[in-house]
Amino acid sequence: MRWSDLLRMSAGSLKRRKLRAFLTILGVVIGTASIVVMISLGLGLQQSMYEQMELDGGTTGLTVTGKSGDGMMYSYSTDAGSEEESSKYITDDTIEEIKALEHVKSADPVLNFSALALKGKYEGYLQLYGMTLEAMESLNLELEPGGRLPDPDSPELELVFGNMVLVDFYEKGTGSGYWDTGELPDIDLQNDKLFVILDQDSYYQTQSTPEMGAEGGAEGGENTVRTPKKYVLGACGVIAGGPDTYNTNSYNVLCDIYKLKEYLQKEFRGRAIPGQPTTQSGKPYSQFVYSSASVQADDMENVEELAQTIRSLGYDVYTNVEYINGMKKTLGMVQAVLGGIGAVSLLVAAIGIANTMMMAIYERTKEIGVMKVIGCSLKNIRQLFLLEAAFIGFIGGVAGNVLSLIISAVINVLIPGESLWGTEGNISYIPIWLMLASMGFAVLVGMAAGYFPAVRAMKLSPLAAIRNE
């Protein structure tokens, strides 16, 4: 018997029993859609993670840290076997040393400094992150219309505010802020100028001793309190998003690192800059120390090798690849659990397919006997019933994928990804390979469920089948 005949007979058998076939296929549809939607939630989380990694330097990014100014160590390493702490400072020499290493595409210093901002009755703390223009461009920041990155040649320190900076501002008199009132301060970061104070210690000392003079010292007193300078600074850009849209730089304020360094050295001339190391006598360290170094490898395959090389130089290294590898294990478990939940529905559908095929054998006993008498081989009879089961699985798989796409679209509309993941990615993500795999799996389940009924049809006695009423 030709394959075309088997296909025609299989399709014809399903058409003759439309209601039973529909109900059986419906079970496969629900089972397939359950598996696809459940796995798509795990894939959505994974896709969101990859998008976040791109904002943090991509899979080729490395963060190199060393000793901080107060003698403590910055440590981001996820290597469980590494217990050695960073033993060196990140200086300009360090940057040049890293740039000279093999597989290094770029290496840029990063300086983190906390400052105080004042505007009218509001004040708040700013986490300043000084970076080179190239390093900021690699972050792929999405700015509000009219915004731009800081100009390194600007005479002033230009700032790029994170979209959630204002939630940390509060009223000086009451101490209440966004988390208390639910209302943002009346500050337009894009257009308003802020008073920014770098020397916070001196500022709070002058606030607690208002009777001191302009030079900060009491008349004839031995102790003096410096009056900190209030820098009038404005924004060149604001990161796109509202107060509830979180991303890596939502709370940060980015600026040109060399301009920030210039401001700090001017403000703290003759004194140690907060966070910078000092000698035993309390004098400033001979070299300027950065918080970290942002390094880009030439290829993801060389990231781990480069990380080990930098660690051997006495620095600590954190890589996105290490984070991704750790998250992949967790996400794999999540997807397995979600897929298992959906697979229960498909298992129930498989039982329905087996029941349908068994009923078909009992109803078509005489037909099977006639086929055997006229010379149809046992192999053809088995293929006939397996094809019917495969048809049920295929149609259910296709319809299940259509239903899963509809459910996925509804989920993504009702629950934006940024409300859970903090990024603009979708909660549910269905790639083409998942759709093809689910259809193939549905067909295999159908054929597996129809195998034993097909074997039973093969074993029927031709004469007994013909005499059956």
Nearest in space to 392 (alpha carbons), one of 11, 137, 3, 6 = 11
CA distances to 6, 21, 209 from 124, rounded to whole Å, are: 77, 67, 21
The whole-angstrom separation of Cα 236 and Cα 147 is 6
The whole-angstrom separation of Cα 133 and Cα 255 is 9
290, 269, 236, 154: CA torsion to nearest 10? -100
How much is the pTM? 0.64
CB contact at 8 A, 75 and 85:
yes
Give the N- to C-terminal CA distance of the chain in Å, as an integer.
26
Q: How many CB atoms lie within 10 A of CB 30?
A: 19
Where are any strands of DSSP class E within 216-344?
A: 230-233, 235-238, 252-256, 292-297, 316-319
Locate 174 and state its tokens: 């009451």
Residue 388, C-beta contacts closer than 8 angstroms, at least 6 positions apart: 10, 13, 14, 357, 360, 450
CA distances to 91, 124, 166, 272 from 119, rounded to whole Å, are: 34, 9, 11, 28
Q: What is the pLDDT of residue 448?
A: 84
For the chain, the structural domain boundaries read 3-53+327-467, 61-298
Q: What is the pLDDT of residue 425?
A: 62
Residue with the two structure tokens 């006229």 = 374
pLDDT in 10s for each residue of the chain, 469 residues: 566 666 676 666 667 777 878 888 888 888 888 888 888 887 887 777 777 666 665 678 888 998 765 433 343 333 433 444 456 889 999 999 999 999 999 999 999 999 999 998 999 999 999 999 998 988 888 899 999 999 989 999 999 999 999 998 999 878 888 888 888 888 999 999 999 999 998 888 887 765 544 444 444 444 566 788 999 999 999 999 888 877 788 899 999 999 999 999 999 988 888 888 887 777 777 788 999 999 988 887 888 899 999 999 989 988 877 677 777 777 777 777 777 777 787 788 788 878 777 777 666 666 666 666 666 777 777 777 788 888 888 888 899 999 999 999 998 888 765 555 555 567 888 889 989 988 888 888 888 887 777 677 666 666 555 555 5
Three-state SS at 77: coil
